[in-house]
Amino acid sequence: MKLTTLADILGSASAEAAMLHLYHYGESYGRAVAADFGVSLDSVQKQLDKFERAGLLICKRQGRTLVYHWNPKSRAASRLRELVAIYYESLPEEIHQEKLSTRRRHRAKDKPIIYSKP
């Protein structure tokens, strides 16, 4: 599902989803992108691998999961991030709520869980 013309620039909807997800969260992994954007896991992993081979992203292993970050040493990565920011900021609020609202950080150890009533 193509959201912006960023998919045309990057070549695929899965590349667009990976870049928007990575921009929003700062770090990301294939399964999270696939789940949030409804694209295939295999295509997202191939795109993330392609961006890593190009030197735009770096990844580290956390358990069995490969977590990707922007490459801070790459000028091209910083320019790509600026380009993604333009498209990210032009997304409608509904897309932000629908695709990019999943909590990705751990809760504090003793923080109480507040349940809301439906």
CA distance 59 to 87: 24
Q: Which domain holds residue 21?
A: 6-97
- Rounded to 10 deg, the angle between the 30-37 and 41-53 helix axes is 130
Q: Is the pLDDT of residue 52 over 80?
A: yes
Q: Is the pLDDT of residue 54 over 90?
A: yes
67-103 per-position pLDDT tens digit:
999 999 999 999 999 999 998 888 887 776 777 766 5
CATH of the domain at 83: 1.10.10.10
> What's the total number of domains in the chain?
1
Q: Is residue 112 part of a domain?
A: no
Indicate the pLDDT class of residue 113, thresholds 50, 70 and 90.
Answer: low
Q: Is residue 87 part of a domain?
A: yes
Q: Is the pLDDT of residue 112 over 90?
A: no
Q: Is residue 105 part of a domain?
A: no
Q: Is residue 108 part of a domain?
A: no
